[in-house]
Copies of this chain bind each other. A is one copy, B any other.
Amino acid sequence: MAASIKEVAQRAGVSLGTVSNVLNRPDIVSPQTRKRVQEAIEELGFVRNDSARQLRAGRSRTVAIVVLDVSNPFFTDVVRGAESIVEGAGGMVVVCNSGGDAAREHRHLDVLEEQRVQGILVTPVSDGKQPRLDRIVTRGIPVVLVDRGAGLANQCSVAVDDVLGGRIAAEHLAERGHRRIAFVGGPMALRQVTDRRLGAEAALSEQGLPPPLVVETPMLSVSAGRQAADEIVTLPSTRRPTAIFCANDLVALGVLQALTAHGLAVPDDIALVGYDDIEFAAGAAVPLSSVRQPREQLGRTAAQLLLEESTDPDRHEHRHVVFQPELAVRQSSETKRRRAR
């Protein structure tokens, strides 16, 4: 059914090696022969078998990215950044979704290892030592950690300073006069969540403010945010926070919705700051203040490091790139005073 190089060679009346040369180094074959071969390829509808090519050549042109949550706009933007670099280099990106599930992540990595992909960008589900990833690295497949702290010495990483992000969010709220501030996010097993919380706590303590009320959520989703806010509104108004800092925008949007549903105005009753600055943050009916991360650049840089390591593994030195977040201030955290017209 599927034509092979051999049949093409036969039809063009040349040897098998010549066809391969037409495919891979067209310049070293004479114009007439090249033309004949190309015609034969056309006529037979020949398509190179990548398995055979890869088997023989050892190399693959596929870069994989394993994300925590394919539904989170943060990750889709990272993916787009990585795509732009990899495709520019003639490669291809495949996206794998672990969904925050270690077992699924494991299975994806197994398959990618079997496929001998060119490299893997990954935001691992869990932190700390990663024997699974180490094994992949020792097998010669470069791995770049995305949005994880400067990890071990055997791989590159790109991340955004989440402690700083938490800090600037909290400082912003403190500056606006808020003293009872809540932190909503979870699970605490995610380093991103704890770092953002730690940054916020440090900032508050430096300003002489009490530590935040922490409401832990089981995951970083809109519905989790709604539930957390449902809890918060039951507090007596003397203890209720006047500002909430959420571990990401999905949670913040959920909180925003629930607060509004309970008749609390944002930001007049409760100010709100999210994290990630996804497109829907600015588009929310109360535009959301949010800690912006250079999402696409995160993906681009990760892909660049990967390709670098892939093309020249010997000279490559592992690097740990950390970006700085910045706050996008919007209506959800503007004080009444400021918003008065």
Is the C-beta of A217 less than 8 angstroms from some C-beta in chain B? no
Residue numbers in B under 8 Å from A283 (CB-CB): 222, 226, 253-254, 256-257
What is the distance, in angstroms, from A104's C-beta to the closest C-beta of chain B?
A: 7
A114-B71 in contact (CB<8A): no
Pick from B50, B95, B104: contact of A70, CB under 8 Å? B95
Which of A75-83, A163-171, A185-193 contacts the other chain?
A75-83
Residue of B nearest to A3 (CB): B139
A48-B114 in contact (CB<8A): yes
Most buried by B among A48, A51, A83, A96: A51
What is the distance, in angstroms, from A330's C-beta to the closest C-beta of chain B?
A: 11
Which of A118-126, A284-292, A302-310 contacts the other chain?
A284-292
Within the oligomer, what is the number of copies of this chain? 2
Q: Given contacts A2-B139, A76-B70, are A49 and B253 in contact (CB under 8 A)?
A: no
Pick from B70, B104, B108, B282: contact of A79, CB under 8 Å? B70
Tell me how many residues of A have a C-beta within 8 Å of chain B: 58
In the bound complex, CA of A116 to CA of B4 (Å): 13
Pick from B70, B71, B116, B257: contact of A51, CB under 8 Å? B116
Residue of B nearest to A287 (CB): B257
Residue numbers in B under 8 Å from A115 (CB-CB): 50-51
Which residues of A (128-172) have their CB < 8 Å from a CB of B?
135, 139-140
Residue numbers in B under 8 Å from A116 (CB-CB): 2, 49-51
Is the C-beta of A54 less than 8 angstroms from some C-beta in chain B? yes
Residue numbers in B under 8 Å from A99 (CB-CB): 80
What is the distance, in angstroms, from A225's C-beta to the closest C-beta of chain B?
A: 8
Residue numbers in B under 8 Å from A254 (CB-CB): 283
A139-B257 in contact (CB<8A): no
B114-A50 in contact (CB<8A): yes
Is the C-beta of A39 less than 8 angstroms from some C-beta in chain B? no
Residue of B nearest to A96 (CB): B94
Residue numbers in B under 8 Å from A1 (CB-CB): 139-140
Which residues of A (62-84) have their CB < 8 Å from a CB of B?
62, 64, 70-71, 73, 76-77, 79-80, 83
B71-A80 in contact (CB<8A): yes
Is the C-beta of A279 less than 8 angstroms from some C-beta in chain B? yes
Residue numbers in B under 8 Å from A47 (CB-CB): 110, 113-114, 139
What is the distance, in angstroms, from A260's C-beta to the closest C-beta of chain B?
A: 5
A95-B97 in contact (CB<8A): yes
B279-A222 in contact (CB<8A): yes
Is the C-beta of A92 less than 8 angstroms from some C-beta in chain B? yes
In the bound complex, CA of A55 to CA of B52 (Å): 6
Residue numbers in B under 8 Å from A52 (CB-CB): 51, 55
Residue numbers in B under 8 Å from A257 (CB-CB): 282-285, 287
Residue numbers in B under 8 Å from A96 (CB-CB): 92-95
Residue numbers in B under 8 Å from A231 (CB-CB): none
What is the distance, in angstroms, from A68's C-beta to the closest C-beta of chain B?
A: 13
8 residue pairs bridging A and B, Cβ less than 8 Å apart: A2-B140, A45-B139, A51-B55, A64-B94, A70-B76, A256-B285, A257-B282, A257-B283
